[in-house]
Amino acid sequence: MTISQIAIEAKVSIGTVDRVLHNRGRVAQETKEKILAIAKENGYEPNTFARNLKLSKKFTFAIILPRLESEYSYWSLPYEGILQAKNELSQLSVFIKLIEFDRNDKTSLIIALNELENDEIDGAIIAPVFPEETKAFLDKKQDLPYVFIDSPLPDLKPLTSLAQEPYQSGYVAGKMMALLAKEWGTFIVIESHSDAFNSRERARGFSSFFDSFKECKVREALIRFNGDGKEKLQRIFTEETDIKGIFIVNDATHRLAEVLDMLSLKKRPIIIGFDLIEQNKEAMRQGKIDCLISQRPFYQGYTALYHLYRKCVLSQEIEEEIIIPIDIVLPENLSSFDQQ
């Protein structure tokens, strides 16, 4: 039995199990007894020599994310999970280095990655929002262990990736749209970053759901709401007279709702988007968003750092892929997701 398996059975973190088994730090007596009982029952035997050899060294992991405040502070959510894991592992020689870049500027990612050229980094957590630039960096860092969060990236081999299946999440959004709209017509798919793999796949999945319904039309649009978003939407509503719903593939759902308010439509279309950022939750409470899909960003960040720790420090085997569930959030169950 491994430390991670004990943690799952005891319903505690890996760091808590590690502290109990190796007598590090403070743990509640009841929790300590539970962990020791599970370890004894399953014949757990720590590799003390290998562990002490590993922990004589400090391990530093790079966290490569878009600026935390960007995209309505979405990126602070996985980072909070990373920080939680880092705090739990702080007594185990684990450190992190945050590298931020501009989500709208590929050059800023290249500059940020250049910061790592001369640093001693033992592994990295990467959000591969710029696929080509990410691949180019990893081609130069053949020996760097890395984990992807937020999106998979075909043709690369991370230690593991933590992300939803983007095509499937888009397909589910299409099905939810059909259920909520209750009538056929035109459906709009809005992307903000056409070069992002997960955005393209979500849009493709949504469109494919409607392929077998001849009564439906799906129109794709590239809109960023920090510029001429209102004018572009106005033009679409002028050209399409029977819009029943709009699916936006990222967390700008509340901005879409704000712009639709400005258009003073006779009937608001169904709105489906992504991510439980606070602005989206508030817009849903106000009745302006009909459905959100959550991808558990805190869990992604938390689990990513623990997997780097398990692989790089403890030399344990880890899952090659962790598929994040597609959480469907409606006004009726929003309160149960308030902690995400």
Asked if 309 contacts 92 with a C-beta cutoff of 8 angstroms, the reply is: yes
CA-wise closest residue to 73 among 235, 287, 278, 318: 278
Same domain, 96 and 187: no
In a domain, 334, yes or no: no
Residue 25: band (very low, low, confident or very high) from pLDDT cuts 50, 70, 90: low
Same domain, 170 and 278: yes
In a domain, 247, yes or no: yes
Same domain, 128 and 74: yes
- Token pair, residue 212, equals 């077998």
> Is the whole model's pTM more than 0.85, yes or no?
no
The number of folded domains in the chain is: 3
With a cut of 50, say whether residue 49 has pLDDT above it: no
Tell me, what's the pLDDT at 189? 98
In a domain, 114, yes or no: yes
Same domain, 285 and 204: yes
Q: Give the whole-angstrom CA distance, residue 231 versus residue 259.
A: 9
In a domain, 286, yes or no: yes
Same domain, 66 and 150: yes
Same domain, 262 and 170: yes
In three-state secondary structure terms, 3 is helix
Tell me, what's the pLDDT at 133? 94
In a domain, 330, yes or no: no
Same domain, 117 and 184: no
Residue 338 or residue 63, greater confidence? 63
Residue 56: band (very low, low, confident or very high) from pLDDT cuts 50, 70, 90: low
In a domain, 97, yes or no: yes
In a domain, 333, yes or no: no
Which residues make beta-bridge pairs with 327?
A: 294
Portion of the chain with pLDDT greater than 90, in percent: 72
Give the tens place of pLDDT for each residue, 159-168.
999 999 999 9
Same domain, 115 and 69: yes
Same domain, 280 and 314: no
Cα angle 46-50-53, degrees, rounded to a multiple of 5 = 130
* 12-26, 36-50, 101-115, 225-239: segment of lowest average pLDDT: 36-50
User: Which residue, 46, 66, 81, sits at the end of a domain?
Assistant: 46
Same domain, 216 and 201: yes
Q: Domain range spanning residue 273? A: 166-294
Angle between helices 197-209 and 166-181 (to 10 degrees): 40
In a domain, 331, yes or no: no
Tell me, what's the pLDDT at 93? 85
CATH of the domain at 238: 3.40.50.2300
Asked if 9 contacts 35 with a C-beta cutoff of 8 angstroms, the reply is: no
Residue 55: band (very low, low, confident or very high) from pLDDT cuts 50, 70, 90: low
Give the tens place of pLDDT for each residue, 243-294.
999 999 999 999 999 999 999 898 999 999 999 999 999 999 999 999 999 9
Same domain, 184 and 290: yes
In three-state secondary structure terms, 15 is helix
CATH of the domain at 17: 1.10.260.40
Same domain, 185 and 288: yes
Q: Which residue is it, tokens 């085997």?
A: 317
pLDDT (average), residues 157-185: 97
Tell me, what's the pLDDT at 290? 98
